[in-house]
Structure 1
Amino acid sequence: MSTSILLLSLLFLFTSFFSIDGTQLIVANNCKEQIWPAILGNSGHGTLSNGGFSLSPGQQTVLEAPQFWSGRMWGRQGCCFDASGRGSSPCQSGDCSGQLECRGLGGLPPTTVVEMTLGTPGNPTHYYDVSLVDGFNLPVSVVPVGGSAGCGVAACKGDVNACCPEELAVRRGGRVVACKSACLGMGGDRFCCTGRFGTAATCGATAYSKVFKGVCPRAYSYAFDEASGLKSCRANRYVITFCPPN
């Protein structure tokens, strides 16, 4: 058993002794490099952990999301922050104005985004997905722990950067660090599912979104890709793993 898996198992045992009013989000870094997860609460919802923190390879942390919390999470890579949390230069991907703690700021796309709505006052069901609608930078998965029947895994475990079309590639130092979606890279109603293409009936998959879908079949590849992208569950814990094993 690897050190990271052993630590995560011990973390489950530790947290299982405590009941919480909301939901635990266990965020793990299985990448070979340091990453900086970032979080943004949706309108009317608080931002957890001040919006950002650092995770070394093999490290994980537990966030306590309040009841009915709704928001998003993404990973940043290639950052350099000083002791005060200010960056000397923007992160290579996912940057939020050069700050370690994003504090209500969104990330600069393209980023792979985890989206979660942990129930509402009228509906206790949790909804979550991994979205590539704005593009891709890091693989990530969302796995419910001890959830209700029918819970699914939302994930983009493959490396879209490895097959990113050149016109959508974001390069830093000659290396592809992120891949734009067609909407982000080229715009237009057809790729962005807007205007006359603003419904599920009129906006379907494109050659570009099919590249994303081929690598990550359990993630949203375009705006109306709900059939395989959106998951539902009711669990007390979710493990969000960056660079999950295949």
Structure 2
Amino acid sequence: MPVVGKQKLQFKNSQSPRNPFFILGRPLQRLCAAQKSGIDLILVNNCKESIWPGMVGGAGHGTPADGGFHLGFGEEIILNVPQGWSGRIWGRQGCCFNEQGHGECETGDCSGLLHCNGVSGVPPATVVEMTLGTSNSPLHFYDVSLVDGYNLPVAMVPVGGGIGCGVASCESDLNVCCPSALEVRKGGRVVGCKSACLAMNTAKFCCTGNYSTPNTCKPTIYSHLFKAICPRAYSFAYDDSSSLHKCMASRYLVTFCPPSPY
């Protein structure tokens, strides 16, 4: 698979129309038709606060935008990735970075770096996963996963729809109904909801060891709770039938804090 090279980014700031193509202190380039040979991922922040999306490419795949950046309320960014790209995206909250890009985030932190550069986020974090075609199939696979826990609502949907396409999402605020055993609290408030695996750290809850197959790994009481609240998201490792989507589109919209119902 080709490694993602330097990505062409497009940035829209509805609150700063005089400077719509500037982010992280660097001017950005528009996506020209000749450059758009891959797939557009449109990331939108609909939350009432800033977030810092994190990204990491799968094995053999590069990471767009150095793996992380700031996205204010109402802002969007377009990343053009090559056909066949595979990776994950998550939102970080409550971040503070110095001029060198070092600091920390309340949730989804990646080793205290603004640019994750191949480092995954610390759970709990709501994760968008995708494989945009393989050597054996042109189909795109994508999902929203709560297997690593939850920190904020997110949805992924193809722009313009398509045959067999659907919405992958967790649109609700799981933090308000997170079981006390799974809560992550900072500053006296719940900022994240752990997965049962992270909280209990046993083979049964983590689907490992004797529980590592679809026949032995079954949803737990916590998985059932997550599924009831977010029916279009993965609630445990083998929750494929209702959570994994297949599609073929040239553009996908990833919205943090999507409107509910989406």
TM-score, normalised to structure 2, is 0.86
Number of the residue aligned with 1:20: 36
- Number of matched pairs: 234
Which 4+ runs in 1 deviate beyond 6 A? none
- Structure that is richer in helix per residue: 1
Compared CA separation, residues 225 and 58, structure 1 to 2 (3 A): same
Moved more, 174-183 or 199-208: 199-208
Matched letter for residue 48 of structure 2: K
With 24-33 and 194-203 compared, the bigger mean Cα shift is at: 194-203
Tell me the TM-score normalized by structure 1: 0.91
Say if 1:37 and 1:74, in contact at 8 Å, map to a contact too: yes
1:184 is aligned to: 198
Q: Which position in structure 1 is the counterpart of 2:229?
A: 215
* Correspondence list, 1:29-48, <5 A: 29-48=45-64
2:138 matches 1:116: no
Secondary structure at 1:229 match in 2: coil
Task: State the AA in 2 paired with 1:26.
Answer: I
Give the corresponding residue for 1:99: 113
Aligned residue runs from structure 1 range 156-167, under 5 A: 156-167=170-181
Q: CA deviation at 1:134?
A: 1.0
- Gap runs ≥5 in structure 1: 8-13
Aligned to 1:245: 259
Compare 65-74 and 16-25 and name the one that shifted more.
Answer: 16-25
Partner of 1:10: none
* Of 204-213 and 49-58, the range deviating more from structure 2: 204-213
Q: Tell me which residue corresponds to 2:20.
A: none
Aligned position for 1:193: 207
Equivalent residue runs for 1:85-96 within 5 Å: 85-87=101-103, 90-96=104-110
Greater shift, 193-202 or 215-224, is seen at: 193-202
1:93-132 per-position Cα deviation (integer Å, ceiling 9, x unaligned): 0001111101111111110000000001221000000000
Q: Give the drift of 1:82.
A: 1.8
Deviation at 1:146, TM superposition (A): 2.7
Partner of residue 74, structure 1? 90
Structure 2 portions without partners, runs of 5+ = 1-12, 18-29
Q: Which shifted more, 144-153 or 172-181?
A: 144-153
Partner of 2:10: none
SS in 1 for 2:106: coil
Deviation at 1:86, TM superposition (A): 1.4
Cα distance in 2 for partners of 1:148, 1:54 equals: 31
Q: 1:23 deviation in Å?
A: 0.5
- Between the aligned partners of 2:165 and 2:68, the Cα distance in structure 1 is 27
Letter aligned with residue 57 of structure 1: F
* 1:132-184 superposed Cα distances (whole Å, 9 cap, x missing partner): 00100010000101343120110000011111111110000011000000011
Return the alpha-carbon distance in structure 2 between the equivalents of residues 229 and 165 of structure 1. 23
Moved more, 219-228 or 17-26: 17-26
CA RMSD of superposed structures (Å)? 1.7
